[in-house]
């Protein structure tokens, strides 16, 4: 039981990190950024490229090296996210919603097969793998790497939350989410804020990518697809557009999967998880923490 | 209006000319061929060149290309050169069906592709309708056999033959309980179901757990949790190597002490890399013959490595053989007409391929699957038990 909870929380924290990017972007420009899962994949590949170019890293240094690479990767993927927004989404900002949605799908495929063309379609094995002892807490087997990654994820999420709550840029983001035109009239530089949003969201997804590469050990150019869908689901469960909701949704999805698999068997895990999702959304369409938006006429 | 009349006339003239030439061809060829009797013989292959199975597609492509080059260097078949028409099936049923249609309209006379069973299945009726013989090098789900199409020949062992080999080894190895895990694809589910059936019929080995995972994910902790709970003597993973490597890694990290066996889709050097060399050590596999386990294949491996700059992998040999079998059948049929080639294929007896002398069963499968047990030792798959 405790093992299931731990497993669920661990996977859930990955979902949560990626879900944050979905939710932030949706909250601000009402765009479902389907390329977001592929930013996660890009993060893993950028990390892979950096670590391989450094050469052999002694085991004692692996955590330090990984943290440095993690930070660098966040900057790179953040930059790529900003680039995608600038090239693919900004020109379409006032176009019909469907056009932007399809552009996002296009951006997703471009990233996937671009990486496949550059790095090759074969899966890559991450040069640094987090390995460590494990210990038992209340019957759950917890390993040191899992703990390290959980701590990193929590720190990142906590940092994001205080950034949005406490800084003026965060306030501007919340203002745009409430009313874009109003924010513009109040003198907020909307473009700059949107750029920042993409930077932060993509940096978090990139961080998750590096962490997944280091923990699971295998990366490939399609690794962002399923997890992207799951993170999107998590964002919707939590109430899309809501930051805390995205975190909560991610953890909840992880737990649902762990328990679904245990109760009904692996074949039924996704049926169970998404069945619950459908039931949940019919009862509460706004998600856990989402607020009903009243249409202004 | 003025332009239309000459246009119609021109079209009419071209059509008449075409009718005349095909008519002539029919008379001169005598074999009733639909395709041109000169120029290269088109061999189609629908294999994955994108998507998660793309790495294996490369092994297959190179194997086929090598056979085509060798045959062409010796003067081709029936005095004509062979030309390979590779189409990307992406391991996806929709894409594979489109690719097969494209191959047919390109004028292929024989098909040597087929890797993912799920994606190969919808290509069967397309080739059958065009009366194009298919020699399937890798896809081996029982589903493909169950279609009972006269044009389909399989030179890889079938799922039930693989399951039989797995069960045989489990009993031999003294395993008392087994966990079966598949990835919900046609190929993988097929082996798992057949193994379960065989085990239950046999009765000596207990099925402690039969479950599925979703391919393409990274975290398999829930499957690992279930396996740890079932505590089997052996895990039999019937999916592909990407997920297989992750599951082995995560199982070992969770403290799993039992044995592990994987099916042929997981036999790839990458499995060891993904799982970690120490974790993969001692993992068994049910596998048809690979270049590494075939005696006397060293020269072949050297030639392949020289030609493509990398070592052959799974299904390189079967793909190579598929082209050779196709060439042999066309030579025996003295033509490329579908009916004659199918008859020639069914009649092949003793043609040497990597898995031994070839003779198809009435179901058009190999008379023996040729499955053997490999084991990972020193980071490489080596022969453990030929199950002879």
* Two structure tokens written together for B236: 């039999």
Over pLDDT 70: what percentage of chain A?
Answer: 97
**B267 band by pLDDT with thresholds 50, 70 and 90:** confident
Both tokens assigned to A238: 């939590």
Q: Is the pLDDT of residue B14 over 70?
A: no
B108 within some domain? yes
Q: What is the mean pLDDT of residues B284-296?
A: 78
Q: Is A242 on the interface with B (CB under 8 A)?
A: no
For domain A2-283, give the fold.
Answer: ABC transporter involved in vitamin B12 uptake, BtuC (1.10.3470)
Q: Which is nearest to A15 in space by CA: A224, A269, A159, A199?
A: A224
B255: distance to nearest CA of chain A, Å?
Answer: 9
**pLDDT for residue B34:** 46
Is residue B187 domain-shared with residue B79, that is, in the same domain? no
Residues of chain A contacting B211 with CB distance shorter than 8 Å? 261, 265-267
Q: pLDDT, tens digit, for every residue of A70-98?
A: 999 999 999 999 999 999 999 998 888 88
* CA gap A271, A269 in Å, rounded: 5
Look at residue B5 and tell me whether its pLDDT is greater than 70: no
Q: Looking at the domain assignment, is residue B240 inside a domain?
A: yes
Give yes or no: residues B110 and B217 share one domain: no
Q: What is the pTM of this model?
A: 0.78
If you measure CA to CA, which chain A residue comes closest to B277? A125
Q: Sheet harboring B110-111: ordered strands across?
A: B82-88, B41-47, B110-111, B134-136, B152-154
- Tally of domains within chain B: 2
Binning chain B into helix, strand and coil, the percentages to the nearest 5 are: 50, 20, 35
Helices and strands, number each (H, E), in chain B: 15, 14
Mutate to test the interface with B, among A133, A217, A221, A230 (most CBs of B within 10 A): A217
Q: What's CA A128's distance to the chain center, in Å? A: 22
B174 and B142, same domain (yes or no): no
Task: Look at residue A95 in the predicted model and tell me its pLDDT.
Answer: 87
**pLDDT score at A244:** 87
pLDDT of residue A210: 93
B53 alpha carbon, distance to own chain's centre: 12
B276 shares its domain with B304: no
State which residues form the domain around B340. Answer: 41-157+296-354
Q: Of A37-51, A211-225, A255-269, which gets the smallest average pLDDT?
A: A255-269
Task: Check whether residue B236 and residue B380 sit in a common domain.
Answer: yes
Closest chain B residue by Cα to residue A146: B253
pLDDT at A99 over 70: yes
Q: Please list the alpha-helical segments (H only) found in chain B.
A: 4-29, 54-73, 93-105, 117-120, 123-129, 142-146, 159-172, 186-202, 221-230, 241-253, 269-275, 277-280, 298-308, 316-333, 338-347
Cβ distance of A265 and B216 shorter than 8 Å: no
Q: Say which CATH number the domain at B83 has.
A: 3.40.50.2300
Give the residue, A111 or A141, on which the prediction is more confident: A111
Contact B50 A269 (CB under 8 A): no
Element (H, E) at A134: strand A134-137
CA gap B63, B353 in Å, rounded: 13
User: What is the ipTM for the molecules in this complex?
Assistant: 0.82
Task: Spell out the domain ranges in chain A.
Answer: 2-283
Q: Which residues from A are below 8 Å from B212, CB to CB?
A: 265-267
Contacts of A10 in chain B (CB under 8 A): 219, 221
User: B361 in a domain, yes or no?
Assistant: no
How many other CB atoms sit within 10 Å of the CB of residue B7? 9
CB contact under 8 A, B50 and A116: yes
Residues of A in contact with B188 (CB under 8 A): none
Say yes or no to pLDDT of A132 above 80.
no
* Shared domain check, B54 and B178: no
Question: What residues does B180 pair with on adjacent strands?
Answer: B210, B236
| Span B359-383, average pLDDT | 87
pLDDT at B216: 83
Residue B188 shares a structural domain with residue B125: no
Highest mean pLDDT: which range of A31-45, A51-65, A174-188, B357-371: A31-45
- Taking CB atoms and an 8 Å limit, are A121 and B55 in contact across chains? yes
| Nearest-10 crossing angle of helices A269-283, A243-264 | 140
**Chain A residue whose CA is closest to B249:** A216
What's the gap between Cα B2 and its chain centre?
57
Residues from chain A contacting residue B115 (CB–CB below 8 Å): none
Residue B21 — pLDDT band, cuts 50, 70, 90? very low
Do the chains contact at B249 and A217, CB–CB below 8 Å?
yes
């Amino acid at each position: 039981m405790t093992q299931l909870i731990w497993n669920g929380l661990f996977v859930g924290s990955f979902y949560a990190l990626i879900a944050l990017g979905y939710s932030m972007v949706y909250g601000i420009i009402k765009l479902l950024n389907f390329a977001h899962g592929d930013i996660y994949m890009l993060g893993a590949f950028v990390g892979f490229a950096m670590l391989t170019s450094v050469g052999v890293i002694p085991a004692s240094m692996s955590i330090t090296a990984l943290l440095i690479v993690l930070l660098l990767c966040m900057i790179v993927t953040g930059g790529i996210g900003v680039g995608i927004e600038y090239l693919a989404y900004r020109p379409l900002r006032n176009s019909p919603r469907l056009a932007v949605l399809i552009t996002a799908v296009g951006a997703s495929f471009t990233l996937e097969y671009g990486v496949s063309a550059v790095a090759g379609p074969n899966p890559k094995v991450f040069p640094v793998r987090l390995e460590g002892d494990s210990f038992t807490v209340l019957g759950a087997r917890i390993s040191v790497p899992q703990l390290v990654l959980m701590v990193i994820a929590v720190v990142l999420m906590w940092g994001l939350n205080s950034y949005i709550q406490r800084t003026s840029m965060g306030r501007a983001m919340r203002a745009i989410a409430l009313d874009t035109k109003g924010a513009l009239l109040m003198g907020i530089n909307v473009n700059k804020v949107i750029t920042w949003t993409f930077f932060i969201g993509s940096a978090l997804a990139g961080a998750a990518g590096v962490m997944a590469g280091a923990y699971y050990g295998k990366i490939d150019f399609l690794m962002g697809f399923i997890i992207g869908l799951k993170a999107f689901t998590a964002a919707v469960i939590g109430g899309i557009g809501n930051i805390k909701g995205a975190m909560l949704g991610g953890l909840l999805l992880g737990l649902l999967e762990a328990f679904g698999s245990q109760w009904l068997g692996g074949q039924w895990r996704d049926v169970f998880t998404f069945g619950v999702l459908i039931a949940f959304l019919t009862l509460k369409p706004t998600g856990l923490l989402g607020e009903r938006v009243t249409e202004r006429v | 209006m003025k332009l239309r009349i000459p246009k119609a006339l021109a079209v009419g003239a071209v059509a008449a000319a075409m009718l005349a030439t095909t008519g002539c061809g029919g008379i001169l060829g005598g074999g009733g061929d639909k395709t041109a009797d000169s120029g290269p013989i088109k061999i189609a292959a629908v294999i994955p060149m994108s998507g998660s199975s793309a790495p294996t597609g490369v092994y297959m492509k190179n194997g086929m290309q090598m056979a085509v080059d060798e045959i062409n260097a010796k003067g081709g078949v029936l005095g004509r050169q062979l030309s390979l028409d590779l189409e990307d099936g992406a391991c996806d049923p929709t894409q594979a069906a489109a690719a097969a249609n494209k191959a047919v309209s390109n004028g292929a006379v024989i098909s040597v592709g087929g890797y993912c069973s799920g994606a190969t299945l919808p290509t069967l009726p397309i080739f059958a309708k065009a009366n194009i013989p298919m020699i399937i090098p890798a896809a081996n789900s029982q589903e493909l056999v169950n279609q009972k199409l006269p044009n389909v020949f399989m030179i890889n062992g079938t799922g039930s033959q693989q399951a039989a080999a797995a069960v045989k080894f489990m009993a031999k190895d003294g395993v008392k309980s087994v966990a079966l895990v598949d990835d919900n694809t046609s190929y993988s589910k097929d082996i798992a179901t057949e193994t379960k059936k065989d085990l239950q019929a046999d009765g000596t080995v207990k099925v402690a757990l039969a479950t599925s995972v979703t391919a393409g994910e990274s975290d398999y902790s829930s499957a690992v949790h279930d396996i740890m709970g079932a505590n089997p003597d052996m895990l039999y993973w019937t999916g592909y190597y990407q997920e297989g490597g992750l599951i082995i890694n995560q199982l070992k990290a969770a403290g799993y002490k039992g044995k592990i066996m994987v099916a042929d889709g997981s036999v790839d050097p990458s499995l060891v890399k993904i799982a970690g060399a120490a974790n993969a050590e001692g993992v068994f596999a049910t596998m048809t013959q690979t270049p590494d386990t075939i005696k006397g294949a060293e020269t072949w491996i050297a030639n392949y490595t020289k030609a493509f700059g990398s070592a052959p992998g799974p299904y390189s040999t079967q793909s190579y053989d598929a082209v050779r079998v196709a060439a042999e059948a066309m030579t025996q049929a003295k033509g490329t007409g579908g009916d004659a080639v199918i008859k020639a294929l069914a009649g092949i007896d003793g043609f040497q391929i990597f898995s031994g002398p070839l003779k198809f069963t009435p179901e058009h499968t190999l008379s023996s699957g040729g499955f053997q047990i490999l084991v990972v030792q020193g980071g490489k798959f080596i022969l453990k038990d030929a199950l002879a």
